[in-house]
Structure 1
Amino acid sequence: MPSTTMRGLAAIVLSVVCAAVAAQTSQPEQKGQRDEPGLHAHEGTAVAGKAVVVVGHASVVNARGERALASGASLAVGDTIETRTDGYVYVTTVDHGFISVRPNSSLGIERYDYDANAPERTIIKLVLNRGVVREISGKGAQAAREHYRMNTPVAALGVRGTDFTVFTTNNITSASVRSGGIVMTPLGGGCATSGSGPCEGANAAQLFADLSDKALQVTRGGTHPVLLDMRLTPLTTEGAGQKAEDSAAHASAAITHVDPGVAPVELALPLNQPDTSSSTPQTPASPSSPANTITPPAQTQPPETQQIFWGRFTPLANLPANTTLADLEQGKESIGYLNPFELVRIPQPDMVMPQQGAFNFSLTRSEAYLINNSTGIATAATIGNAALAIDFGTRQFTTSLQMSANGTSYNVRSFGTVSNDGKLQSDFAAPAFVIGALAGKNATQAGYIFNQAVGTSQQISGATLWSR
């Protein structure tokens, strides 16, 4: 279980990366990305991206020397990012990709030519000298996969529209894939470090996300990558800060509209790099041959169990109550009362809400009544044209419903705020009064109860459940 300090760090990192990425992506894209406001590098160099988060000790080395790397600094062609044992750097690239440089790592930017008007002409060349890097391909890398290359001391890697992680020393390189795919080839022979794009041919091997428990590995002097169980590679060491990186990647992808092929929901890749000073080549588990691997369709995840509930705890003039408070609240958290309903949810200690992006929810269940305040008579109503949108960046929600009863339709509309613990509360000026909550591992469920006056003697009351 991550410590309180690490959870705090994750929250800080996430808030910083959201703000920084939003600032970066609000700027217009320029051909070559040399003159983009806020992304100036030293004169005569093309900007490759921005260090949106820097934690611990990190620096940039180039022809001008070495300088400490700070959050918000631009990164240019010719720069090498260096991290120490406590250093992490999160980079958003000019083609809207994401790179995490982990501790004890060195990543050089040899070439980064990106034209937003013609992304298929992109040319990218990176050099991982040592350590661990995770990358989610941006628009340019996805559009021009034949012009993307990452060199290590012993291997060349190409991408297939990808979220992947690479570990390297001077003598061994391992790579794993979460989404998309990679092609890896030992350097030497027909695969030279001076080349651009992936090295194809008999010495190449591919790895796709359907083998997420495997890694490709090249050792110095080897003629072909081998396929290993992830448990045998240095990529398997998990760190307590893993969630911070995952959240930063989510934020970057959400803001910049990166589509790595499969959304990086729960990455099993390490944030902390092991000490590489004593790393030795692992015994191959099984050889890999040049593969015409086809990525299978993404597996559909089973839906989460319902975690938000409501009950009508008071009788109406013509309807009995359908629950008691004690039964409804047993083992659950009370969100609020709004006569004649109460809303509760299962406690959500592990819920992680998105920090950026607007999401639309779909109505899954509802109950509503038109109530005559003078007589107390309640008429069951139907709900249609339902909409609920939550902007997690601004922590605001908007909702609307069309309710029909006795042959008449009524429009219900509300808006308000979302608290840090996922509770919805309508603004004072909203037409309908709403009390609600979010639930689920990634806030994929929502529910609220509402009340809206109709004229001087009637009101609309109801309860809803939603999912996304």
Structure 2
Amino acid sequence: MSHLPMNSKQSFNFPTRISISAVLVWCLVLLGGAGFTVASEYELTSEGPSSASRDLQPIGSVSLVLGRAFIESEGNNRERVRMGMMVRQADRIVTESNGHVHIRFIDEALVSVRPNSELEILAYVFNTEDPDKSSIKFNLLEGTARAVSGNAAKAARQRFRLNTPIAAIGVRGTDFVVTTTATLMTVLVNEGAVVVAPFSDECAAQGFGPCSTNAVELTADSLQLIEFDSNMALPRLVPLVVSEESTEQLQGAASNTGAQPPIVEASGDEEDKKATSKEVVMESVTSVGVADDAAADDTT
């Protein structure tokens, strides 16, 4: 049997290809290992996980939805919010003018996203074995949100942060409501305390926990709220003015819930009834109107 001759070029390229392939495989292994380490640190120290490191495990679920609201996930996926829908890290909740969403998290925390709002879940790591090592971070781009601390934030207060476009909010075991635009924000505390500080070299948006530089603390019993706009050097405390109607609503809610902040959950027909009601009493000392067209807009 004759053998085809192998020229010098062929004999040179064959082992070279093997060598190059081996090097590439080794590099990928090294990069893969480095990526895993960086992903773990990234999850806890920056604004949120990348698409390669995102934890796909649910961190909470939708316990109430009124009107039109959407969840935007990585990959530019946009989905209409539904009751019981799972929520994950890096999700963005977007509500329209009649939209309102409640999310219950795995550590029993509660977040309410009100109409015309946009909230990002940058990080949500609940360490069940050592809650002190938990880490939570939200970014409220616009609108209004209420946050009620769960087991993670209560145990790891130095690792909780809610950012707005102009300031950082840390907690002291808290139930609070924040409203923000690109240049103005207000914060009201229902229970516990918050620390608000404008962004600066000492208070970076990428950080976790409360900032101390130029910070102002607000407690629930102060009968005040915090105001801050981009032209101010420091946030300021202003008296809380509560209307008689709002006071009656708050007292009624407290008597019906054993003095606990009224968190409402609905399902099935209850959801539709709530969406068509003239007005829904929201979770703080004020009420927010939900438009009659919530039911009319209940289509994709």
- 8 Å CA contact 1:131–1:167 kept in 2: the answer is yes
Structure 2 residue identity aligned to 1:129? L
Structure 2 residue identity aligned to 1:92? R
Can you list the C-alpha shifts for 1:206-247, whole angstroms capped at 9, x where unaligned?
A: 001111x31111111322110112349xx9996x99889996
Match of 1:68 among 41, 58, 80: 80
1:136 and 2:153 are equivalent in the alignment: no
Match of 2:295 in 1: none
Runs of 4+ in structure 1 displaced over 3 angstroms? 235-238, 240-253, 269-273
Can you list the C-alpha shifts for 1:125-144, whole angstroms capped at 9, x where unaligned?
A: 00001111111100000000
Match of 2:233 in 1: 223
Structure 2 residue identity aligned to 1:61? E
Counterparts of 1:191-210 in structure 2, within 5 Å, are: 191-201=203-213, 203-210=214-221
Match of 1:47 among 58, 80, 83: 58
- SS of match in other structure, 1:77: coil
1:156 and 2:173 are equivalent in the alignment: no
Superposition deviation, residue 269 in structure 1: 3.5
- SS of match in other structure, 1:86: coil
- 8 Å CA contact 2:253–2:262 kept in 1: the answer is no
Comparing both structures, which one devotes a greater share of its residues to helix?
2
Superposition deviation, residue 271 in structure 1: 3.5
Structure 1 residue identity aligned to 2:287? P
Between the aligned partners of 2:86 and 2:244, the Cα distance in structure 1 is: 31
Between the aligned partners of 2:209 and 2:227, the Cα distance in structure 1 is: 19
The alignment's C-alpha RMSD in Å is: 3.3
Q: Which fold has the larger relative contact order, with Cα–Cα distance below 8 Å and residues 6 or more apart in sequence?
A: 2
**Structure 1: gaps (5+ residues):** 1-31, 33-42, 254-265, 274-468
- With over 3 angstroms needed to count, the CA separation of the structure-2 counterparts of 1:127 and 1:118, relative to structure 1, is same
1:102 and 2:114 are equivalent in the alignment: yes
1:176 and 2:188 are equivalent in the alignment: yes
- 8 Å CA contact 1:89–1:101 kept in 2: the answer is yes
Structure 2 residue identity aligned to 1:227? L
- 8 Å CA contact 2:249–2:285 kept in 1: the answer is no
Match of 2:288 among 267, 271, 283: 271
- With over 3 angstroms needed to count, the CA separation of the structure-2 counterparts of 1:119 and 1:164, relative to structure 1, is same
Match of 1:281 in 2: none
Identity %, equivalent residues: 31
- With over 3 angstroms needed to count, the CA separation of the structure-2 counterparts of 1:71 and 1:249, relative to structure 1, is farther
- With over 3 angstroms needed to count, the CA separation of the structure-2 counterparts of 1:197 and 1:272, relative to structure 1, is farther
Between the aligned partners of 2:238 and 2:108, the Cα distance in structure 1 is: 31
Superposition deviation, residue 204 in structure 1: 0.3
- With over 3 angstroms needed to count, the CA separation of the structure-2 counterparts of 1:97 and 1:237, relative to structure 1, is farther
Question: Which protein shows a greater Rg?
Answer: 1
- 8 Å CA contact 1:173–1:219 kept in 2: the answer is yes
- 8 Å CA contact 1:230–1:236 kept in 2: the answer is no
**Structure 2: gaps (5+ residues):** 1-42, 44-53, 266-282, 291-300
Between the aligned partners of 1:69 and 1:244, the Cα distance in structure 2 is: 27
1:166 and 2:183 are equivalent in the alignment: no
Between the aligned partners of 1:108 and 1:236, the Cα distance in structure 2 is: 34
Comparing both structures, which one devotes a greater share of its residues to strand?
1
